[in-house]
Structure 1
Amino acid sequence: MGTSLNRRTALGLGTMATVGAVFGLPDGVAAAPGGDLEDLRATPLAAARKIRQVYTKESAAAGGNWQALVTVAGSSEIAVTDQPDTMVEAYSVNKIAVAVAVLDKVDRGLLKLTQRVNVTAAVAAGDSDGIFRLDGAYPSAVTLGHVLSALLTVSDDVAARLCGDVAPAAEINKILVGKGFGKTQVQLTGNPNRFYMGRTTPRETHTLLRRLVAGTLLSRASTNVILSRLRSPIAFTDGIRREMSSLERGRIATKAGWFGASRHEAGVIFDRGSAPVLTYAIFADGQSGAANFGATHPAVRARSRMGRAFLDAVNGLPGDRSVPAARESLAG
């Protein structure tokens, strides 16, 4: 959306005239008494309105800084646009982009999911999130497919280093630039095979997710590698998926990122037929409780309430049936 509005104006709209101006409401559609869109229930516009209200309420209650882009029914209805072009430290949300780069090499025949990757004590050393460092039996070897599964589900930091061994940092960035993501880049270090997760914007992360489910970034098989992992039961459950049943969680492909005072999450909600119906990229920092990486952190708790409301808002809507790769992704 090209209109420039401040956050409280754009997200706290209360009049029918403003809603129509921002969301493109057709002329002649009138508001019901009290300003409710009675004639627009179970529509993308009504869902977007509800999502915007919940986001505004929960982000304000949590405090701190928020940047987000949320759309309903593909990208046709913008539910939330909150500083979407702000550059942010992506942290582990950028592991989706890293997986895209690695799988691009798989699609070009330069790598195979079945090839072995060596895990040494040096690679696994240090205090990091994940499971590889808990092994303690090095050296060992795992498949590249195993590495990507650990990267995208439990957000394993050693898995990110192993990705760097098969796709150096500069090559990852070049692949992402070639796909149109010049702002979604990993941060290079003195070692060409090691990187920090780097930066992105809510808009680029949102676009990456939209193009991923549309099947325009990778082959169908590689697309499903990412989506099936992000939708699996062991993918992140403390945020968007927290207040959901196991079946409902299987309809959410999500990736969280956290470090210091930042608590981020981005993903896609699918309808019951596994067609995408909502895409979100939500970045937050500056809330109280910087040392709390649990579900009780204010930003994570806010996202759990958002997630429940987001799913309820789109439950009656059909997703985009034109993306077979997304429909074929596994829920677990």
Structure 2
Amino acid sequence: MATIRRRAAFGLAAAAMLGTTASPASAEPAEAPEDVTPPDAARARARISFVYRRETRRARGTWSSHVSIVDPDGRVIPAVDDNADTVVNAQSVNKIAVAVAVLDKVDRGLIRLDQKVSLTPEIIIKDGDGIFRLHKVYGDQITVAAALAALLLVSDDTAVRLCGLVCPAAELNEILRAKGFEQTQVIPVANPNRFYLGKTTARETHSLLEQLVAGKLVSADSTTFILDVLRSKDGYIDGVRRTMSTAERERVATKAGWLNSDRHEAGVIFDGNAKPMLTYAVFATGAFTGDAAANDANYGGTHPALEARARLGRAMLDAVSRLHSGSARSYRMRAYVPVNGG
């Protein structure tokens, strides 16, 4: 006879008293042994898989995710493969793809990072995320580099339009398709220089990140540009990086995206030698635990999906902390040193 966990047994007894039925299969999974920092890739993968299942069941909603680790021999080992080929609304996670397309043009000499675009009143998105809308007066000449930094660091929505000035929607999609990303596409509108952020899948976003850190998508300088911004401690910390120290956060390159009920995040965790250890693409939407209207208006760290990602992020970092990446490529950024003006 299969062993029934004590909590599940209590549930069955309570159900019997109430005249209802309950299934042990619907209960939360048993707690894994406290092997939080396992010594090998197989157990690290099992740990991540367990925490993912536990947290997504608690948060509820619909999840599409792909997570992998790199073992000491350089092999990529899937830890989570959950509806990874489902096409989803990418939201701001696709800003990584936008940056890749723009920097591809920089690498080919078609545009320059110091090239200027105009922050005119009509281009400002006065709602949503970012810093450009907060200027209150407009007319600045913004470099392409500054637009990309705002796009990736604070997920600036106006920066999307600024990028569209130098990389129109049709060309952007063509660049991504040429790199093998058929599902990771923006949605054009009547103005050829504007677009909605479009669609992707967890598997394609995961692949885009893997290829990015491997130096296969853009030049070394452009790769460094993107990863410097995504790893900055000034970036997004409400999800995967929330319960990490400053040094730990700088080992994680991450980008989140949200709208309506969508709560997404994707990125890469590096080891102490600045080699990629783990790549994740976690997309969540739908009916989460709690009140739907309250959840849809909550983009902060108390949202059930973000609480789940925070616990998953801590678990992923810990799970690979004793492993050594077999990746041939490393990436370094300047260490954070606080200053006091002057």
TM-score, length basis structure 2? 0.84
Question: CA offset at residue 113 of structure 1?
Answer: 0.8
Q: Deviations over 1:239-278 (max 9, x none)?
A: 0000001110000000000000000000000001110000
Match of 1:46 among 43, 63, 68: 43
Q: Deviations over 1:18-73 (max 9, x none)?
A: xxxxxxxxxxxxxxxxx9899x9411111110000000000000011001000011
**Higher mean C-alpha displacement, 301-310 vs 73-82:** 73-82
CA 75–154 in structure 1, closer or farther in 2 if over 3 Å, else same: farther
Q: Tell me if structure 2 keeps the 8 A contact 1:231–1:330.
A: no
Match of 1:55 among 52, 56, 60: 52
Q: Which residue of 2 aligns with 1:263?
A: 263
Question: CA offset at residue 85 of structure 1?
Answer: 0.2
Q: Tell me if structure 2 keeps the 8 A contact 1:232–1:331.
A: no
* Residues in 2 aligned to 1:331 and 1:281: alpha-carbon distance in whole angstroms: 26
| Paired residue secondary structure (2:84) | coil
Question: CA offset at residue 160 of structure 1?
Answer: 0.7
* Residues in 2 aligned to 1:265 and 1:320: alpha-carbon distance in whole angstroms: 25
Q: Tell me if structure 2 keeps the 8 A contact 1:231–1:331.
A: no
* Residues in 2 aligned to 1:137 and 1:320: alpha-carbon distance in whole angstroms: 50
Q: Deviations over 1:150-182 (max 9, x none)?
A: 000100000011000000000000000000001
* Residues in 2 aligned to 1:127 and 1:59: alpha-carbon distance in whole angstroms: 30
Question: CA offset at residue 330 of structure 1?
Answer: 4.5
**Higher mean C-alpha displacement, 162-171 vs 314-323:** 314-323
**1:296 alignment partner AA:** T
Q: Which residue of 2 aligns with 1:22?
A: none
Q: Tell me if structure 1 keeps the 8 A contact 2:149–2:229.
A: yes
TM-score, length basis structure 1? 0.86
Question: CA offset at residue 13 of structure 1?
Answer: 9.9
Query: Could you tell me the percent identity over the aligned residues?
Result: 52
* Residues in 1 aligned to 2:184 and 2:335: alpha-carbon distance in whole angstroms: 27
Name structure 1 gaps, 5 residues minimum: 1-8, 15-34
* Residues in 1 aligned to 2:76 and 2:29: alpha-carbon distance in whole angstroms: 19
Q: Which residue of 1 aligns with 2:312?
A: 306
* Residues in 2 aligned to 1:309 and 1:36: alpha-carbon distance in whole angstroms: 13
Q: What pairs with 1:74-223 in structure 2 (closer than 5 Å)?
A: 76-223=76-223
| Paired residue secondary structure (1:61) | helix
Question: CA offset at residue 189 of structure 1?
Answer: 0.6
**1:302 alignment partner AA:** A
Q: Tell me if structure 2 keeps the 8 A contact 1:251–1:331.
A: no
Q: Which residue of 1 aligns with 2:238?
A: 238
Whether 2:242 is the aligned partner of 1:247: answer: no
**2:69 alignment partner AA:** V
Q: Deviations over 1:173-224 (max 9, x none)?
A: 0000000001100011111000000000000000000000000101000000
Aligned residue pair count: 299
Question: CA offset at residue 116 of structure 1?
Answer: 1.1
Match of 2:332 among 302, 314, 328: 328
Q: Tell me if structure 1 keeps the 8 A contact 2:118–2:140.
A: yes
* Residues in 2 aligned to 1:307 and 1:329: alpha-carbon distance in whole angstroms: 21
CA 228–307 in structure 1, closer or farther in 2 if over 3 Å, else same: same
* Residues in 2 aligned to 1:188 and 1:254: alpha-carbon distance in whole angstroms: 26
Pick the structure with greater CA Rg. Answer: 2
Question: CA offset at residue 95 of structure 1?
Answer: 0.2
* Residues in 1 aligned to 2:250 and 2:270: alpha-carbon distance in whole angstroms: 9
Whether 2:321 is the aligned partner of 1:315: answer: yes
**1:226 alignment partner AA:** I
* Residues in 2 aligned to 1:75 and 1:187: alpha-carbon distance in whole angstroms: 35
* Residues in 1 aligned to 2:152 and 2:136: alpha-carbon distance in whole angstroms: 22
Question: CA offset at residue 125 of structure 1?
Answer: 3.9
Question: CA offset at residue 76 of structure 1?
Answer: 2.2
| Paired residue secondary structure (2:309) | helix
Q: Tell me if structure 1 keeps the 8 A contact 2:66–2:282.
A: yes
* Residues in 1 aligned to 2:161 and 2:219: alpha-carbon distance in whole angstroms: 24
Q: Deviations over 1:108-162 (max 9, x none)?
A: 0011111111100111143121000100221111111111100001000000110
Q: Which residue of 1 aligns with 2:63?
A: 66
* Residues in 1 aligned to 2:134 and 2:307: alpha-carbon distance in whole angstroms: 28
* Residues in 2 aligned to 1:96 and 1:238: alpha-carbon distance in whole angstroms: 18
Q: Tell me if structure 1 keeps the 8 A contact 2:38–2:319.
A: no
RMSD: 2.0
* Residues in 2 aligned to 1:172 and 1:261: alpha-carbon distance in whole angstroms: 27
**2:332 alignment partner AA:** E
| Paired residue secondary structure (1:162) | helix
| Paired residue secondary structure (1:268) | strand
**1:53 alignment partner AA:** F
* Residues in 1 aligned to 2:238 and 2:192: alpha-carbon distance in whole angstroms: 33
